[in-house]
Amino acid sequence: MHKDLQPIAVPLVAWFGQNKRELPWRQDKNPYHVWVSEIMLQQTRIEAVIEHYYAFMAALPTVESLAAVPEERLLKLWEGLGYYSRARNLKKAAQVIMETYGGNFPQEYAALVKLPGIGAYTAGAIASICFNEKVPAVDGNVLRVLARLQADRSNVLDPAVKKAAEALIHDILPDDAGDFNEGIMELGETVCLPNGLPLCDKCPLKNYCKAYRQNITAELPVRIKKTQRRLEEKTVFLFYSPQGELALNKRGDSGLLAGLYELPNVDSFLEENCIAARARQWGLEPLEITYLKDCKHIFTHIEWQMRCYTVRVKEKNESFDWCTAEALESDYALPTAFAKCLD
């Protein structure tokens, strides 16, 4: 099977050289740039990442500046990207690079994969793209391309399938390993598309593709999720002081959205006649209660269904942090789940 795919390297690398998108982190082979972009791109679309990438690099242009940034500032820069543990791990890894490697980025996969927040894929991407080490970098795009090339109906969400894919790529990597890895990822992102028919007429590998020959590209890859998302109902409160300040609460140091700010909330949907009583439990006297909207937010394994109320209170207290609209925009990292609740 590996021999069947050995010939794809030359046309793939040539295609990538002619068709790669001009992305900000491709302007050089700086491992800091590649690393930050790869972490941002996890679970996030390229279109959403580009603006955040520019802002992040303007504020934190070096490993040293990332290692030293206060957490609140870091989380604000990460706002809108979600999965905030990624940002915290970036800082932890930057601190290790400063302390263990004197600020110089490690150049080998074996060292990279030991850094906080850097798994096999990210280590492979950095090592191959920046230092041309012959190691695979297998993400969902690569798994999709391989599944179609081989007409393979294995479940691509199975870790064993990813391991097999890494072994396959390792065996067929050419000397220009970085261009090969970027090329096959680029192919998956722009041609061998998910959630619909791939653009086979534009694919440099269609002559090697078994799914194309068998006319089954739309059936692949196979993705079988083992667990369903758990539904959680929440009542969310937008408490406003007489001065128009919004109440925020800082979440605990562990669990989902740890250490981030949230809108005050309780589990389950409260009846509207219970809203005032709940506000008083927090030491607030409601003057006006208005149903705002229902909204939802989907995490990897949990779906929040949120019922939101605007509550204008007599006066603010010390139970919460109270912030102006300007401060919310500039200083507080509010997770997307709660940003959806704002009116």
pLDDT tens for each residue of 271-328: 888 999 999 999 999 999 999 999 999 998 899 999 999 999 999 999 999 999 999 9
225 within some domain: no
Q: What is the pLDDT of residues 55-90, one digit of tens each?
A: 999 999 999 999 999 999 999 999 999 889 999 999
Q: Are residues 237 and 289 in the same domain?
A: yes
Asked if 136 and 145 touch (Cβ cutoff 8 Å), the reply is no
pTM for the model stands at 0.81
Q: Are residues 63 and 137 in the same domain?
A: yes
59: domain CATH number is 1.10.340.30
Q: Are residues 115 and 85 in the same domain?
A: yes
Q: What is the pLDDT of residues 2-25, one digit of tens each?
A: 567 999 999 999 999 999 999 999
Q: What is the mean pLDDT of the chain?
A: 94
The answer to whether the peptide bond before residue 70 is cis (omega within 30 degrees of 0) is no
Residue 123, pLDDT above cutoff 50: yes
Taking the C-alpha atoms of residue 181 and residue 86, their distance in angstroms, rounded to an integer, is 23
Query: Active-site positions?
Result: 38
Of 182, 197, 219, the residue that ends a domain is 219
Three-class SS of residue 109?
A: helix
Of 219, 239, 266, the residue that ends a domain is 219
Residue 45 confidence (pLDDT): 86
Q: Are residues 206 and 283 in the same domain?
A: no
Crossing angle of helices 71-78/85-101, nearest 10°?
Answer: 130
Q: Are residues 189 and 244 in the same domain?
A: no
Predicted confidence band of residue 253 (pLDDT cuts 50, 70, 90): confident
Q: Are residues 208 and 274 in the same domain?
A: no
How many angstroms separate the first and last alpha carbons of the chain? 56
317 within some domain: yes
Stretch (H or E) spanning 286 = strand 286-298
Q: Are residues 182 and 252 in the same domain?
A: no
189 within some domain: yes
224 within some domain: no
Asked if 247 and 264 touch (Cβ cutoff 8 Å), the reply is yes
Taking the C-alpha atoms of residue 271 and residue 248, their distance in angstroms, rounded to an integer, is 22
Of 219, 244, 263, the residue that ends a domain is 219
86 within some domain: yes
327: domain CATH number is 3.90.79.10
Going by C-beta distance under 8 Å and a sequence separation of 6 or more, which residues neighbour residue 87? 74, 75, 77, 78, 81
Q: Are residues 211 and 181 in the same domain?
A: yes
Q: Are residues 210 and 328 in the same domain?
A: no
Residue 197, pLDDT above cutoff 90: no
Predicted confidence band of residue 1 (pLDDT cuts 50, 70, 90): very low
Q: Are residues 211 and 292 in the same domain?
A: no
307 within some domain: yes
Q: Enter the tokens of residue 211.
A: 């799914």
Q: Are residues 285 and 210 in the same domain?
A: no
| Locus of tokens 């949907």 | 269
The parent domain of residue 279 ranges over 230-339
Tally of domains in the chain: 2
CA dist list (Å): 116 to 61, 94, 122, 182, 208: 19, 9, 11, 23, 38
Q: Are residues 157 and 303 in the same domain?
A: no
Residue 235, pLDDT above cutoff 90: yes
